[in-house]
Structure 1
């Protein structure tokens, strides 16, 4: 287990979680916000993207009252990403994070806010992060409101930063400073 905070537990991704990831990442409601509806995942694609890749990323499951409801990952920013975000000369210890709640019946209940707050607390207290960053797409106002409730601030506009549903979308670089 990575950490437990009240009713939320974050644990490392296990091989048997691939079926849940495939279920969530083939749901058009989830894909609208994460990966894109034109990019559904099957088991093979889940295994390729989540299990055979960057060991710098800590890939985790979000568990709410013993039910797996979503995915979260965190990582120390590498030199290329630091440069892309404009932190190349910074001596700050910077972590990035990404997440989604795959069980849509947990949406709009404050669970996402609690997950983000608890992960930020973990990164600051346990990983000694000076700065936590994310780059949500500018149109995703619900996610941005959640992140702002958690203390994130918009730092920079990242034009045409992420391919989503056939077009490059603008994103906000948002920061949480210790």
Structure 2
């Protein structure tokens, strides 16, 4: 089932056949580096994804597949986690696992569509995320979508032999509504 649509992508529920893509992307060192700032990845087995698939309804991470509208090819995943029903906050995560789709607007389009889904469907008030200082492409994409840099955790992540700053970003319902009202004019 498609839960959100952008200009370039559909965001849909994960299907059994998608597990091979999730495994491939999780085990790709370059994807893992930019998605999670991980360099020492362990080989994630298909069995681990199968177990996740059966437990996903009770998981705190709600993951969806990003597919191209044109070909329906899975190219990445997007998720929210740590849903706080009292404060109405979620944490966003995204990665484009198919590297030939990097830098072509697919991630930005997916973020915009997913943000709309989160605010309109889940009735949340705030979306948070973090990334590391070297991930400039992601920071620019988040800013294009309306996220603001809210803080920096100095030298909070140790990656490949050196410390990196963690960039904390967020978007509130008020931010989203300003953007949504501008695009409707």
Q: Give the TM-score taking structure 1 as reference length.
A: 0.80
What corresponds to 2:182 in structure 1? none
2-structure distance, mates of 1:34, 1:60: 15
Query: 1:69 touches 1:106 (CA, 8 Å); kept in 2?
Result: yes
Deviations 1:22-51 (A, max 9, x none): 212222321221242321433257528844
2-structure distance, mates of 1:60, 1:136: 20
2-structure distance, mates of 1:46, 1:71: 17
What corresponds to 2:39 in structure 1? 37
Shifted more, 160-169 versus 144-153: the winner is 160-169
CA RMSD of superposed structures (Å): 2.7
2-structure distance, mates of 1:114, 1:105: 16
Q: Is the partner of 1:114 in helix, strand or coil?
A: helix
Question: Aligned to 1:115, which of 86, 110, 113?
Answer: 110
Deviations 1:102-140 (A, max 9, x none): 011111111111111111111111111211110111221
Unpaired runs of 5+ residues, structure 1, are 80-90
- CA drift of 1:164 comes to 4.4
- CA drift of 1:10 comes to 1.3
What corresponds to 1:60 in structure 2? 64
- CA drift of 1:9 comes to 1.4
2-structure distance, mates of 1:55, 1:171: 25
Query: 1:13 touches 1:60 (CA, 8 Å); kept in 2?
Result: yes
Runs of 4+ residues over 3 Å off in structure 1? 48-54, 76-79, 159-169
Within 5 Å, give how 1:136-175 maps onto structure 2.
Answer: 136-162=131-157, 164-165=159-160, 169-175=164-170
Query: 2:6 touches 2:112 (CA, 8 Å); kept in 1?
Result: no
Q: Give the TM-score taking structure 2 as reference length.
A: 0.77
- CA drift of 1:168 comes to 6.0
